[in-house]
């Protein structure tokens, strides 16, 4: 049993060494509304470490307010994972007029 635990620990350490500091970015969701695609685009971003959210507002309303958007046409949510998923960055992108 002790040998098995040591082998598992060694495999986990080796796997973590080969992952490097690469990040993974992927869109989590896109919402299209009936409004035509606008020329303005607003973003709201925030990071968390060890699954703890900081005091950051990443709402659709904040992203729209930053760009001066009053009619929202699409909303996109992107999550960017950091090294060993210890930190994550969330971005909300809003487009409209």
Per-residue pLDDT of the chain (97 residues; tens, 9 = 90+): 788 888 888 877 766 655 555 555 555 566 666 677 778 999 999 888 776 666 678 889 999 999 999 988 888 888 887 766 677 888 999 998 8
Please state whether beta strands 72-81 and 24-32 pair in parallel, antiparallel, or not at all (unpaired).
antiparallel
CA dist 61 and 3 (Å) reads: 54
Report the first-to-last Cα separation within the chain, whole angstroms. 63
State the Cα–Cα distance between residues 36 and 68, nearest whole angstrom. 16
What's the whole-model pTM score? 0.65
């Amino acid at each position: 049993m002790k040998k098995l635990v040591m082998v598992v620990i060694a495999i986990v350490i080796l796997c973590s060494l080969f992952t490097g500091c690469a990040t993974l970015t992927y869109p989590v969701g896109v919402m299209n509304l009936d409004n035509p695609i606008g020329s303005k685009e607003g973003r709201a971003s925030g990071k968390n470490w060890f699954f703890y959210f900081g005091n950051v507002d990443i709402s659709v309303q904040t992203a729209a307010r930053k760009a001066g958007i009053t009619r929202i046409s699409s909303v996109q949510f992107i999550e960017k994972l950091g090294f060993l998923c210890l930190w994550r960055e969330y971005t909300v992108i809003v487009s409209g007029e």
